[in-house]
Amino acid sequence: MSKIGVEESLTNIQEALREKGFDVVEIKQEADAKNLDCCVVTGLESNVMGISDTSMKASIIEANGLTADQVCSEVENKLNAIQ
């Protein structure tokens, strides 16, 4: 099962991803973003959550301006592309 990290303020997206069967982890700090397949962030900051590790393998999706359904589609597309 794919493990998706979602910034803590995006509760509607967390719920939508759980409904689709994803294992969702709330991202509160940099350590929470380790070993994830994909991360969903607000995109409102240039250095979101203070994450500066450029070797992170997870795909990053900026949720700013997207609905929960659109974010779910983006997550599915990113995960299908890496499989």
pLDDT of amino acid 56:
60
Count of structural domains within the chain: 1
pLDDT of residue 59: 86
Lowest mean pLDDT of 16-20, 21-25, 40-44, 67-71, name the range.
Answer: 40-44
Please, what is the Cα angle at 10 between 37 and 68, to 5 degrees? 80
Say which amino acid occupies 11: T
pLDDT tens for each residue of 41-51: 987 654 555 55
For residue 12, count other CB atoms closer than 10 A to its CB: 13
Instruction: Indicate if the pLDDT at residue 16 is higher than 90.
Output: yes
Which structural domain, as residue segments, surrounds residue 51? 3-81
Residue environment code for 51-68, b if the CB has 16+ CB neighbours within 10 A, otherwise e: beeeeeebbbbebeebeb
